[in-house]
Amino acid sequence: MNIFSKHFSSIVMGCFSFFVLGCQSHQKPNNKPNVIIILTDDLGYADVGFNGSLDIRTPHIDRIAKNGVQFTNGYVSYAVCGPSRAGLITGRYQDQFGFSRNPLFAPKDESQGLPLSEQTMAEALHTAGYKTMAIGKWHLGAHKTQRPLARGFDEFFGFLSGGHKYFPEEWTKNDISEVSSQFDAYNTKILKNNTRIDEQEYLTDAFSREAVNFVKANAKQPFFLYLAYNAPHTPLEATEKYLSRYPEIKDKKRKTFAAMVSAVDDGVGTILNTLKDLNIEDNTIIFFLSDNGGNESKGANNGPLREGKGWLYEGGIRVPFAMQWPAVIPKEQKFHDPVISFDIFATVAAQAEVTPKNELNGVNLIPYVTGKLHQAPHQALFWRHYDRDAFAVRTSESKYVKDRNGKAGLFNINDDISEKSPLADPLKIQDLKADYMHWNEKNIPPQFDGLLQNKDYNKTHPNRFKNVEKY
């Protein structure tokens, strides 16, 4: 008997609790909570203090875990940037709507990004009167129909592509009409809403500044801030202000990586202090996580986890993940059952009392972290890497992985976090594979070419960068 038949009744009850327990079973303030998601880019599992970092100091990020809950088994829905963000912002497995690849920077192609059939978290919160802003990296489509202001955000400050350079003097492209290749977009000037501006600050500091300004401007109404730092994603670039904090780190890549994380940490501290000064900290839900695991060849540290970015082993999908809501969530918790990034949408929707347009795959975490519910939030979590013919299934105790090289193994993930010792249990493997096949029936093939198909896309779209509008 597989997981779906064994736990049908508990799934029904879990769905019921999303609508009932999520909104009624705990004490919360009368006014709707503010929501802040702080998303980092390629941050390793062991690159923050609350996960045991020994060399990078993150006192402000650690405050979020100390003020609330650290998810020791916190996952994202994919092992690279774009699909992971699609899962987070929609609250759904991105494979169900074909967002299974990193989208190309193709501003004339509306298929290269988040389908219009999908509702973003910002669109849902708009129905509850929230003021919304996206800051930082978008990477969900560059076509005008897919940009933040067209997907539920009132304001945007950042860039559209999958990465960006950090120093203003490197932003030599006035707008996207001057982009002539995939990675040229790293050099564009920053967008403020739909206008290119002459920003002068180090990029991470600019994002933090804009986040604080948004919070201050909207302190008297419910707001949603999606703060998607591109740090510490490459290129590895940091100012002397942050580099000077790590004279003891001799490896150049690691030192610069540490400095970039330190810049994020400073920004987080400024935001937390602003919330406290405005007396809205207690009624603000904050989530902190990374979009995928770290790339250790680029300076990250995934600690005991196997592999990293791009892999379905723990190092690629298990990330630093913490949450605070002082008015509701008890402090200094460690929550050990698996949770996943699209639980954020389900949690936020329940607290804002909105009904999402599409069926969410996440669960409202509040009843679990407040002790109202004691079972695991999920019976199983799933991952698919379509182009590599790889997949993974995670239950509370077990994980089965078929990796991109065709190797497969079953692991007791609680006892073997490093996935070093595969287990011989044919019946368990059969059950987990059957569960994956059942889940995969709802998925569709990728709906656009990704980075791996960039050369082929250029051949079939020779006018990709010609006559692009100047914005």
Q: Are 122 and 153 in contact (CB under 8 A)?
A: yes
Annotated active-site residue in 139, 143, 164, 233: 139
Catalytically annotated residue among 7, 60, 81, 126: 81
Q: In 3D, which of 348, 341, 371 has the Cα closest to residue 27?
A: 371
Task: Determine whether 81 is an active site residue.
Answer: yes
Q: Which residues are catalytic?
A: 81, 139
